[in-house]
Amino acid sequence: MRVTRSRLILVRHGQTDYNRDGRLQGQVDIPLNATGIRQAESLAAAVAADPPDVIVASPLERALETARIISRDTGLEVDTDPAFLERGFGLWEGLKGEEIKRRWPAEHADWRAHRPVRGLDVEDRPEVGERVAAACRELVAEHDGGTVMVVAHGAAITLGITSLLGLDTNGFRGLAGLENCHRSVLEPLIGEPADGLMRLASHNLPPDFT
């Protein structure tokens, strides 16, 4: 008898002007640009061919708009969960990397080395990873044997995957970030003790991949 496996699909939102211009977005709430809308429409065709059982999005507009576009032909309503917000970058949000490096050289070095950044309201990596991973585990448990799609953000997804794989969110650097409207697929580990861990089945799939 074939066992139906649960699937978790993590989707990064489409492009925004901040993405295009190389600005750090964090939790700044800005919309998709024209390119981002086209990316989401391309992904919508792939999602319609193999729809999930549920779609949940970050409440930030760029993620929610992406989710609504890709859900149009599925008949699904999009729910939101603040657990899938992007990593908060505090005083750095809206800035380019070179400006951050010039104004905060020591803190910038800590950030690039995956060390905690103090005093600037930058959310710690383990905190982000665990809030995303915990919400993913809960959704997968609620839809056992089904497919859960989450539309969120680059840093949040990368850290969430790292945590779901049981890896150190400060030390591990082996996972490339998702491009806009690309997605990754994870499956829960089967057997004991699984402890809520997952395996990465596919990573950074393009919008038109079916």
pLDDT at 27: 98
Residue 76 lies in a domain: yes
Residue 171 lies in a domain: yes
d(Cα 94, Cα 88) in Å, to the nearest integer?
11
13 included as an active-site residue: yes
Residue 169 lies in a domain: yes
CATH of the domain at 28: 3.40.50.1240
- C-beta separation of 31 from 16 below 8 A: yes
- C-beta separation of 15 from 33 below 8 A: yes
Peptide bond into 193 cis (omega under 30): yes
Q: Which two tokens stand for residue 21?
A: 């211009």
pLDDT digits (tens, 9 = 90+) for 84-105: 999 999 999 999 999 999 999 9
d(Cα 72, Cα 44) in Å, to the nearest integer?
7
Residue 95 lies in a domain: no
d(Cα 172, Cα 8) in Å, to the nearest integer?
21
Range of the domain at 178: 7-88+123-205
Number of domains the chain contains: 1
Residue 164 lies in a domain: yes
114 included as an active-site residue: no
pLDDT digits (tens, 9 = 90+) for 142-158: 999 999 999 999 999 99
pLDDT at 114: 92
Contacts of residue 123, Cβ cutoff 8 Å, sequence gap at least 6: 87, 88, 89, 90
Which parts of the chain have pLDDT scores under 70? 1-3, 191-193
Q: Which of 33, 4, 6, 1 is nearest to 180 (CA)?
A: 33
- The greatest distance separating any two alpha carbons of the chain, rounded to the nearest whole angstrom, comes to 61
pLDDT at 2: 47
d(Cα 199, Cα 32) in Å, to the nearest integer?
30
Contacts of residue 193, Cβ cutoff 8 Å, sequence gap at least 6: none
pLDDT at 122: 98
Q: CA quadruple 154, 159, 160, 162: dihedral positive or negative?
A: positive
- C-beta separation of 123 from 88 below 8 A: yes
Set 41, 61, 77, 86: catalytic member: 86
pLDDT at 137: 97
pLDDT at 1: 40
Q: Which of 143, 153, 138 is nearest to 84 (CA)?
A: 153
pLDDT at 192: 59
Residue 101 lies in a domain: no
Set 13, 108, 153, 182: catalytic member: 13
pLDDT at 195: 82
pLDDT at 37: 98
Residue 97 lies in a domain: no
Residue 158 lies in a domain: yes
